[in-house]
């Protein structure tokens, strides 16, 4: 076995220089790692991780356009030299952050070969003991045998007087193996070409064979002939010589492989491939800004669930989603919401209460609230069956995990709505969960019959005051349990208490999922700051009294939004530099402390300047 760790610090040959023809991408491998090698029009050789940052597709099937390498799948482009991603089709700004780069490896040309390595820190092997006035690479040959098993049989083969395609070898070789990766054969004697009885002597150069460890089980042999000058011997003789060696190497390969046939397969080398973050590696949504109203729906049914709660059912009128057949609506996951554009001009978010896989309608449940800013009144009082409304496509910032050992759903009042769709999905898939519904009076127990029919334990906590509610919640969250997840939706005070209690009891932030109806806090927009947009190259000033989102919008930078009060998570923007001043209730405390994203509708900057991934 070769010393794998030491091999990572060496230079290895990965191709012949002539392999990298213009506008071609060469597929190489070294120490189990695949590389895409390509020569740009300026002559520069790039050695990159052979995968697209987007979906991991091999870049060796991509297009070398002379300056950039383009992925065949979705057209992400990567620049010569830096491997920086320069373009993401359909991205809001059609350009990614300068910070997204593929992994690159060093590449240099020497001895007619391309050399690379994971983190080479020494010198490329020297051939100083040989005549290096000119060097001619042989055709590289892959042998499906681990590297350490090649040198000895290859020496045997070369020194045993083999018959070649173009002559009888009377050459004797003296072998020298300075290290496991290099074999030098010093030639004594001459090779005659039997085709010509006058025995025009074919030169018999010394040969250096470099062994390239492709992976644990395969090795490429890259030989170079030393001191053959094509101008002296002519190109026909040179080609004959190359053919002779190609023939010999293929024969040697067959012998070595058959001698190795019954050996156990070595443990594979698994290269470590540093990853970029999921958000960078996922396809961004199509260009869109603001509160989108993509769908037209018709109100098809209204039903009273309780004296103050009605359900509204909408059917597709037409759809601009290309692939959806008429009357089918874009699918929503449990926990998703839509924006509804109401006749009075208001835009409001409502969670869908649909069961799993229902795409023929959207259903929401709305409580008539006296302190409502107009949404529930408009729905309750002025809408009639048959009315046409505009809605957004469903968005989900309250995603249900399906891998929890147990799921706790905690609802305050009408906050049941997203949890109802979750309960329907969990029940449908036979996943274990418990539902707690805190309600003021028995009449608020909507969908009670359906919930009672589910396999899960459902508890209604009726008429509890603040203290009692807190006691019940404290008992529920008594001790964190691994692989349990808590989903909570309800009034701000209840959510705040639950989050605090969960945190002090030691629940991990990632296991507590919450959705606010609205942001209970008052937004402080008195600060002034600068934002720089890394992708679009803009530098903007956000004055006091204006939100970051509205400044972005004024400059035509597309950011999606929904609630526009820091509750729903739709307007999230990545922060590359600077310290955000978080004013939302969507991010968890851990996420806020990390400081690498913010809700652009309410959050601002503590530092004078923010750099955003826009």
Buried residues in 470-487 as b, exposed as e (16+ CB within 10 A): bebbeebbeeeeeebbbb
Could you tell which of ligand FES, other proteins, none binds residue 111, using a CB distance below 5 to 8 A set by kind?
other proteins
Show contacts with ligand FES in window 29-58 (CB under 6 A): 52, 54-55, 57
- The runs of H, that is alpha helices, within 286-396 are 375-377
Q: To which residue do tokens 């969908």 refer?
A: 447
Show contacts with other proteins in window 190-249 (CB under 8 A): 218, 220, 228-230, 235, 238-239, 242-243, 246
Does 87 bind ligand FES (CB under 6 A)? Our answer is no
Question: Least Å distance between CB 234 and other proteins?
Answer: 11
Q: In this structure, are residues 1 and 93 in contact, taking their beta carbons and an 8 Å threshold?
A: no
Query: Collapsing DSSP states into helix, strand and coil, what is residue 222?
Result: strand
- Strand partners of residue 312: 302, 364
Taking CA atoms, 523 is separated from 276, 497, 545, 591, 609, in Å, by 34, 20, 10, 19, 20
Could you give the string, one character per residue 22-41, with x where binding to other proteins holds by CB under 8 A and - elsewhere? xxx-xxxx----x-------
Q: Which of 48, 76, 105, 497 binds ligand FES (CB under 6 A)?
A: 76
Which CB sits closer to other proteins, 121 or 370? 121
Q: Which region, left, alpha or beta, applies to residue 569 given φ > 0 means left and ψ of -120 to 50 means alpha?
A: left
Q: To which residue do tokens 């996420």 refer?
A: 591
Q: Which of 27, 73, 131, 242 binds ligand FES (CB under 6 A)?
A: 73
Q: Is 548 exposed, middle or buried (0-12, 13-18, 19+ CB in 10 A)?
A: buried
Show contacts with ligand FES in window 385-444 (CB under 6 A): none
Which CB sits closer to other proteins, 62 or 566? 62
Pull the structure tokens for residue 59: 């870049």
Which CB sits closer to other proteins, 269 or 460? 269
Q: How many helices (H) and strands (E) does the chain have?
A: 12, 39
Give the separation between CA 452 and CA 427, rounded to whole angstroms. 11
Q: In this structure, are residues 259 and 532 in contact, taking their beta carbons and an 8 Å threshold?
A: no
Backbone φ, ψ for residue 438 (5° rounding): -90, 120
Does 19 bind other proteins (CB under 8 A)? Our answer is yes
Which CB sits closer to other proteins, 21 or 457? 21
Q: Which of 4, 18, 263, 510 binds other proteins (CB under 8 A)?
A: 18
Question: Least Å distance between CB 95 and ligand FES?
Answer: 14
- Strand partners of residue 410: 436, 488
Show contacts with ligand FES in window 116-145 (CB under 6 A): none
Residue count, binding to other proteins (CB under 8 A): 52
Question: Least Å distance between CB 72 and ligand FES?
Answer: 7
Which CB sits closer to other proteins, 137 or 580? 137
Does 74 bind ligand FES (CB under 6 A)? Our answer is yes
Q: Which of 8, 17, 299, 546 binds other proteins (CB under 8 A)?
A: 17
Q: In this structure, are residues 418 and 398 in contact, taking their beta carbons and an 8 Å threshold?
A: yes
Does 142 bind other proteins (CB under 8 A)? Our answer is yes
Q: Which of 9, 55, 72, 500 binds other proteins (CB under 8 A)?
A: 72
Which CB sits closer to other proteins, 28 or 451? 28
Which CB sits closer to ligand FES, 91 or 485? 91
Which CB sits closer to ligand FES, 52 or 220? 52
Q: To which residue do tokens 């190609």 refer?
A: 246
Does 120 bind other proteins (CB under 8 A)? Our answer is yes
| Stretch in the footprint of ligand FES (CB under 6 A) among 72-80, 103-111, 393-401, 575-583 | 72-80
Give the separation between CA 582 and CA 571, rounded to whole angstroms. 13
Q: To which residue do tokens 């059917």 refer?
A: 315
Pull the structure tokens for residue 271: 């290269």
DSSP state, 89?
T
Query: Collapsing DSSP states into helix, strand and coil, what is residue 550?
Result: helix
Which CB sits closer to other proteins, 218 or 592? 218
Could you tell which of ligand FES, other proteins, none binds residue 356, using a CB distance below 5 to 8 A set by kind?
none
Which CB sits closer to ligand FES, 91 or 341? 91
Give the separation between CA 236 and CA 439, rounded to whole angstroms. 93
Which CB sits closer to ligand FES, 103 or 149? 103
Question: Least Å distance between CB 202 and other proteins?
Answer: 16
Show contacts with ligand FES in window 552-611 (CB under 6 A): none
Could you tell which of ligand FES, other proteins, none binds residue 55, using a CB distance below 5 to 8 A set by kind?
ligand FES
Q: Which of 24, 76, 78 is nearest to 48 (CA)?
A: 78
Query: Collapsing DSSP states into helix, strand and coil, what is residue 380?
Result: helix
Question: Least Å distance between CB 76 and ligand FES?
Answer: 4
Could you tell which of other proteins, ligand FES, none binds residue 74, using a CB distance below 5 to 8 A set by kind?
ligand FES
Question: Least Å distance between CB 521 and other proteins?
Answer: 52
- Helix pair 235-259, 151-159: axis angle to 10 deg: 130
Give the separation between CA 227 and CA 190, rounded to whole angstroms. 15
Does 75 bind ligand FES (CB under 6 A)? Our answer is yes
H/E segment holding residue 191: strand 191-193
Q: Which of 8, 32, 56, 65 binds other proteins (CB under 8 A)?
A: 65
Show contacts with ligand FES in window 357-376 (CB under 6 A): none
Pull the structure tokens for residue 279: 């958000």
Does 49 bind other proteins (CB under 8 A)? Our answer is no
Question: Least Å distance between CB 194 and ligand FES?
Answer: 54
Could you tell which of ligand FES, other proteins, none binds residue 21, using a CB distance below 5 to 8 A set by kind?
other proteins
Taking CA atoms, 555 is separated from 153, 249, 538, 552, 610, in Å, by 69, 64, 9, 5, 16
Give the separation between CA 383 and CA 385, rounded to whole angstroms. 7
Its sign, for the CA torsion 250, 253, 259, 261, is negative
In 290-405, the DSSP E strands lie at 295-304, 309-318, 337-341, 347-351, 362-367, 388-391
Q: Which residues contact 270 (CB under 8 A, 6 or more apart)?
A: 32
Question: Least Å distance between CB 146 and other proteins?
Answer: 16
Question: Least Å distance between CB 50 and other proteins?
Answer: 9
Residue count, binding to ligand FES (CB under 6 A): 9
Site residues for ligand FES per CB under 6 A: 52, 54-55, 57, 71, 73-76
**Residues in the site for other proteins, rule: CB under 8 A?**
15, 17-19, 21-24, 26-29, 34, 60-61, 63-66, 70, 72, 106, 108-112, 120, 123-124, 127, 132-137, 139-140, 142, 218, 220, 228-230, 235, 238-239, 242-243, 246, 250
């Amino acid at each position: 076995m070769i010393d794998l760790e030491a091999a990572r610090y060496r230079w290895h040959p990965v191709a012949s220089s002539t392999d990298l023809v213009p506008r071609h991408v060469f597929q190489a491998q070294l120490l189990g790692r695949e590389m895409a090698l390509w020569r740009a029009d300026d002559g520069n050789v790039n050695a990159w991780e052979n995968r697209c940052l987007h979906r991991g597709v091999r870049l060796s099937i991509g297009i070398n356009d002379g300056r950039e390498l383009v992925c065949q799948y979705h057209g992400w482009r990567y620049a010569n030299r830096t491997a920086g991603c320069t373009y993401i089709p359909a991205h809001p700004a059609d350009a990614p952050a300068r910070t997204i780069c593929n992994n690159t490896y060093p590449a240099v040309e020497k001895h007619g070969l391309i050399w690379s390595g994971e983190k080479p820190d020494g010198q490329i092997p020297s051939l100083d003991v040989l005549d290096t006035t000119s060097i001619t690479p042989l055709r590289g040959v892959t042998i499906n045998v681990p590297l350490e098993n090649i040198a000895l049989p290859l020496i045997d083969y070369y020194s045993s007087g083999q018959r070649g395609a173009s002559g009888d070898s009377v050459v004797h070789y003296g072998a020298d193996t300075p290290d496991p990766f290099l074999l030098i054969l010093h030639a004594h004697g001459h090779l005659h070409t039997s085709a010509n009885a006058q025995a025009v002597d074919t030169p018999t150069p010394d040969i250096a064979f470099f062994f390239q460890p492709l992976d644990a089980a395969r090795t490429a042999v890259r030989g170079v002939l030393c001191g053959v000058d094509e101008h002296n011997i002519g190109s026909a003789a040179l080609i004959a010589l190359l053919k002779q060696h190609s023939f010999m190497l293929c024969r040697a390969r067959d012998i070595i492989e058959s001698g190795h046939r019954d050996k156990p397969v070595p443990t594979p080398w698994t290269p470590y491939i540093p990853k970029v973050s999921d958000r960078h590696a996922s396809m961004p949504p199509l260009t869109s800004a603001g509160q989108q109203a993509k769908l037209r729906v018709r109100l098809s049914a209204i039903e009273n669930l309780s004296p103050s709660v009605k359900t509204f059912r909408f059917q597709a009128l037409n759809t601009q989603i290309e692939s959806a057949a008429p009357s089918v609506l874009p699918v929503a996951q449990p926990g998703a919401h839509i924006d509804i554009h109401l006749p009075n001009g208001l835009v409001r978010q409502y969670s869908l209460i649909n069961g799993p896989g229902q795409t023929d309608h959207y259903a929401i449940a709305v409580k008539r609230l006296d302190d409502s800013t107009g949404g529930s009144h408009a729905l309750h009082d002025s809408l009639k069956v048959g009315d046409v409304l505009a809605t957004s496509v469903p968005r989900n910032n309250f995603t249900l995990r399906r891998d929890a050992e147990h799921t706790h759903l905690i609802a305050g009042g009408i906050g049941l709505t997203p949890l109802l769709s979750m309960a329907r999905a969990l029940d449908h898939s036979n996943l274990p969960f418990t539902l707690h519904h805190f309600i003021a009076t028995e009449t608020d127990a909507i969908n009670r019959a359906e919930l009672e029919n589910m396999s899960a334990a459902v508890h209604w906590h009726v008429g509890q005051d603040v203290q009692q509610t807190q006691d019940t919640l404290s008992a529920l969250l008594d001790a964190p349990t691994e692989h349990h997840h808590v989903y909570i939706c309800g009034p701000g005070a209840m959510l705040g208490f639950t989050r605090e209690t969960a945190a002090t009891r030691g629940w991990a932030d990632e296991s507590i999922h919450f959705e606010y109806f609205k942001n209970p806090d008052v937004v402080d927009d008195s600060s002034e700051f600068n934002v720089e947009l890394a992708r679009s190259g803009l530098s903007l000033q956000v004055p006091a009294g204006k939100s970051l989102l509205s400044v972005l919008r004024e400059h035509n930078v597309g950011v999606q939004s929904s609630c526009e009060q820091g509750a729903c998570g739709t307007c999230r923007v990545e922060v590359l530099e600077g310290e955000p001043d978080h004013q939302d209730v969507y991010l968890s405390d851990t996420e806020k402390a990390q400081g690498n994203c913010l809700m652009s509708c309410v959050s601002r900057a503590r530092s004078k300047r923010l750099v955003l991934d826009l």
